[in-house]
């Protein structure tokens, strides 16, 4: 039972108030329990246990000013240890993490960031929301940024390179870091789809200046919604932390005057709640078990596949760092890809094509009309109005033909980390039949 804050009087005895019911109590917990879909018997047992407990104190769901140890803070510490960085900041999504990263680096109007033509739209949209201009660049057989195309796309306005580790596997971080190093540019890793993956023995998200992670429901780690910003850099952490909490807070003394220019500015609110923090913490602890399951199932299915003529597997720059959440291969042409994919889907295989020009998909640049058509949210016309029109990137639906060719010939099999050996055997056998139907 919680009592409200009392003002102490010098002359009067203390007020005798309450006790009151907790702000968040058994009713809210039972709503949460409903999400887990227990059997009616278990739910009834839990309900009576909870309601009869005289000690119910109720949670404190705000991460700050929390009289109890914060789950969000524990998740930040556990994730920083997992990724191998000095700081992890929990936020409410990877989109928010990306905005924090762009803003922490001081990216804004008139700046360009290099993003791949194949990524979830958020990578580019977060740049536009930060008033920056995305420069959209070809991918290669890794399904991630082509380092040579990155180098060609750099201009005097470029302020960051954003490799996205698509579908669980690492981008070519050695070559990308090499280009970035020679040009003096920071790398922001978008690790939304590859949490826990690695390159060259280092976890993804720790190789660039900042790593951005998603914990939305469909990612390796899931807390419904959620994300993390990872960095070794104290200053970037301070600025990201400020942006994520209206920039009125923390750094580390929240009421202190600015210690150096760039410390005070107006931010937004991307805080993670204790509900998400608790789920995220449990998920982080399961990382090794999940990755071991994905990798075992991926290997077993891949080893059993009889490649069709002209078929190649996606190139993975560091196989040991692949989270293995997806198995991707390219067929010889778009027509056989469609045929094989439909045959696999008919047989219940969790297979999908990546690009079909008739199916809208927010992962492919041709559908990003917000960017291609230079949409803006306010009459100021930002971000496009910050640069002379003839210096803006020349966007078109034809500008990345290699990306479209590769994606049009790709089939992706979703892997589940709990597949048994028998599940893998059945899936592989049907993939082989689907491949035969396509050739």
Ligand X SMILES: Cc1ncc(COP(=O)(O)O)c(C=O)c1O
Nearest Cα neighbor of 220 from 273, 155, 298, 157 is 298
166 or 431: CB nearest ligand X: 166
Give the separation between CA 278 and CA 68, rounded to whole angstroms.
Answer: 13
Comparing CB distances to ligand X, the nearer of 322 and 340 is: 322
CB of 226 to ligand X, least distance (A): 7
For residues 122 to 141, the per-residue mask of contacts with ligand X, x marking binding by CB under 6 A and - elsewhere, is: xx------------------
- Is the bond preceding residue 64 a cis peptide, omega within 30 degrees? no
d(CA 195, CA 232): 17
Q: Which stretch binds ligand X (CB under 6 A): 34-42, 90-98, 408-416, 418-426?
A: 90-98
User: Which H/E stretch holds residue 313?
Assistant: strand 312-313
Cα distance between residue 403 and residue 238, in whole Å: 37
173 versus 431: smaller Cβ distance to ligand X: 173
Q: Counting contacts by CB under 6 A, is residue 192 touching ligand X? A: yes
Contacting residue, 28, 216, 361, 425, with ligand X by CB under 6 A: 216
Q: Give yes or no for residue 229 binding ligand X (CB under 6 A).
A: no
For ligand X, the closer of residues 93 and 242 by Cβ is 93
287 binds ligand X (CB under 6 A): no
Please give the Cα distance from 432 to 297 (Å, whole number). 16
Max Cα separation, the chain?
A: 92
316: contact with ligand X by CB under 6 A: no
At 87 the three-state DSSP class reads strand
The residue count for binding ligand X (CB under 6 A) is 14
Instruction: Establish if 227 lies at the interface with ligand X (CB under 6 A).
Output: yes
Residues 6+ apart with CB under 8 A from 304: 424, 425, 428, 429, 432
Smallest gap from Cβ 386 to ligand X, in A, equals: 24
Report if residue 214 touches ligand X, rule: CB under 6 A: yes
**Which residue in the set 79, 102, 118, 120 belongs to the binding site for ligand X (CB under 6 A)?**
120
Q: Pick from 96, 97, 95: which is nearest to 87 by CA?
A: 97
93 counts as binding ligand X under rule CB under 6 A: yes
Among 75, 82, 88, 94, binds ligand X (CB under 6 A): 94
Cis check: omega of the bond before 220, within 30 degrees of 0:
no
CB 208 within 8 A of CB 190: no
CB of 217 to ligand X, least distance (A): 9
For 277, the token pair is 């923090």
* Binding residues for ligand X restricted to 377-396, rule: CB under 6 A: none
Phi (first) and psi of residue 269, to 5 degrees: -125, 105
Query: What residues are labeled active site?
Result: 219
Sequence-ordered strand ranges (E) for 99-179: 112-116, 133-137, 158-161
Kindly state the helix (H) or strand (E) to which residue 408 belongs, with its residue range: helix 401-408
Closest approach of Cβ 251 to ligand X, in Å?
Answer: 25
Measured from the CB of residue 316, what is the shortest distance to ligand X in angstroms? Answer: 17
With contacts defined by CB under 6 A, name the span among 70-78, 133-141, 190-198, 259-267 that binds ligand X: 190-198
Residues 145-184, mask of contacts with ligand X (x by CB under 6 A): -------------------x--------------------
Give contact residues for ligand X (rule: CB under 6 A): 93-95, 119-120, 122-123, 164, 190, 192-193, 214, 216, 227
């Amino acid at each position: 039972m919680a009592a409200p804050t009392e003002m102490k009087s010098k002359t009067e005895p203390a007020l005798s108030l309450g006790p009151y019911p907790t702000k968040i109590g058994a009713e809210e917990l039972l709503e949460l329990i409903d999400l887990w879909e227990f059997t009616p018997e278990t739910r009834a047992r839990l309900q009576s246990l909870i309601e009869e407990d005289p000690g119910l104190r109720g949670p404190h769901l705000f991460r700050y000013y929390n009289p109890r140890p914060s789950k969000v803070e524990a998740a930040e510490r556990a994730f920083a240890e997992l990724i191998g960085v000095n700081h992890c900041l929990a936020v409410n999504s990877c989109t928010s993490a990306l905005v924090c990263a762009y803003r922490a680096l001081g990216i804004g109007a008139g700046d360009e960031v290099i993003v791949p033509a194949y990524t979830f739209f958020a990578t580019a949209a977060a740049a536009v929301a930060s008033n920056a201009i995305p420069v959209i660049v070809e991918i290669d057989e890794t399904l991630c940024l082509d380092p040579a195309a990155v180098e060609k796309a750099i201009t005097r306005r470029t302020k960051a390179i954003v490799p996205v580790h698509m579908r669980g596997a690492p981008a070519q971080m050695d070559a990308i870091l090499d280009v970035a190093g020679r040009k003096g540019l920071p790398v922001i890793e978008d690790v939304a789809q590859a949490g826990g993956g690695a390159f060259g023995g280092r976890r993804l998200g720790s190789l660039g200046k900042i790593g951005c992670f998603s914990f939305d429901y469909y990612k390796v780690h899931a807390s419904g919604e959620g994300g993390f910003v990872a960095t070794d850099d104290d200053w970037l952490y301070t600025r990201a932390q400020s942006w994520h909490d209206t920039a009125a807070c923390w750094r580390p003394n929240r009421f202190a005057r600015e210690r150096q220019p760039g410390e005070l500015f107006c931010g937004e609110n991307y805080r993670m709640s204790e509900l998400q923090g608790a789920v995220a913490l449990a998920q982080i602890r399961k990382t090794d078990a999940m990755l071991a399951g994905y990798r075992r199932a991926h290997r077993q299915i891949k080893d059993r596949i009889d490649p069709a003529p002209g078929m190649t597997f996606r190139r993975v720059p560091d196989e040991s760092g692949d989270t293995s959440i997806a198995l991707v291969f390219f067929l010889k042409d778009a027509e056989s890809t469609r045929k094989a994919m439909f045959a696999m889907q008919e047989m219940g295989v969790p297979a999908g094509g990546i690009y079909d020009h008739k199916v809208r998909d927010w992962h492919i640049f041709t559908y990003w009309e917000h960017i291609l058509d230079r949409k803006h949210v306010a009459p100021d016309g930002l971000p496009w109005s910050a640069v002379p029109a003839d210096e803006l990137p020349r966007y078109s639906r034809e500008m990345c033909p290699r990306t479209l060719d590769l994606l049009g010939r790709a089939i992706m099999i979703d892997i589940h980390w709990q597949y048994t050996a028998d599940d893998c055997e059945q899936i592989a056998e049907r993939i082989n039949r689907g491949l035969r139907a396509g050739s």
